[in-house]
Amino acid sequence: MAIASRNPATGETLREFTPLTSAEIEVKLANANAAFQQPGRRTFEERGKLMKAAADLLDANRDSLARTITSEMGKLLPASRDEVSKCASVCRFYAENAAQFLAPHEVRSDGQRSYIRYDPLGAILAVMP
């Protein structure tokens, strides 16, 4: 059965998608995990540049993306534009602050030396509306 994207205001089918098979999903998950396992992961600076580039793309395509949000979710167009701008701002915020947020830091404890360290867990699957 196809997955349909419908305009909630009109009921019009905007596009239909063929769902992936279980085998296709497993291949995509394996590819994501293989990419995560590669040595020499990008530095925070490199990742920050990519996040800033993503923010620039969001800004450059704000009106087109807003129209898609409006047609697929029924949001008013000004709210959709604001959502795209907010996403760009979030990308820039984490591009500028991730290294500080994720830096290991010592904490007081009964031990000789205690600290909190943030280790990557792997690929993350997220389904967003």
The CATH homologous superfamily of the domain defined by 3-28+42-116: Aldehyde Dehydrogenase; Chain A, domain 1 (3.40.605.10)
Q: Which pLDDT tens digit goes with each residue over 20-67?
A: 999 999 999 999 999 888 866 788 999 999 999 999 999 999 999 999
The whole-model pTM stands at 0.78
Q: CA-to-CA distance for 86 and 78, rounded, in angstroms?
A: 12
Q: CA-to-CA distance for 104 and 100, rounded, in angstroms?
A: 9
**Confidence class for position 123, pLDDT limits 50, 70, 90:** confident
The pLDDT of 95-105, averaged and rounded, is 94
Write the DSSP symbol of residue 62.
H
* 3-state secondary structure (DSSP) of residue 32: helix
Q: What are the residue boundaries of the structural domains of the chain, listed by start?
A: 3-28+42-116
**Confidence class for position 2, pLDDT limits 50, 70, 90:** confident
Q: CA-to-CA distance for 91 and 60, rounded, in angstroms?
A: 14
Q: CA-to-CA distance for 55 and 80, rounded, in angstroms?
A: 16
Q: CA-to-CA distance for 66 and 84, rounded, in angstroms?
A: 7
44-60 residues labelled b (16+ CB within 10 A) or e (exposed): beeebeebbebbeebbe
Q: CA-to-CA distance for 104 and 108, rounded, in angstroms?
A: 13
CA angle in degrees (0–180, nearest 5) for 99-104-105: 120
Per-residue model confidence (pLDDT) at position 126: 72
The pLDDT of 74-97, averaged and rounded, is 96
The pLDDT of 78-91, averaged and rounded, is 97
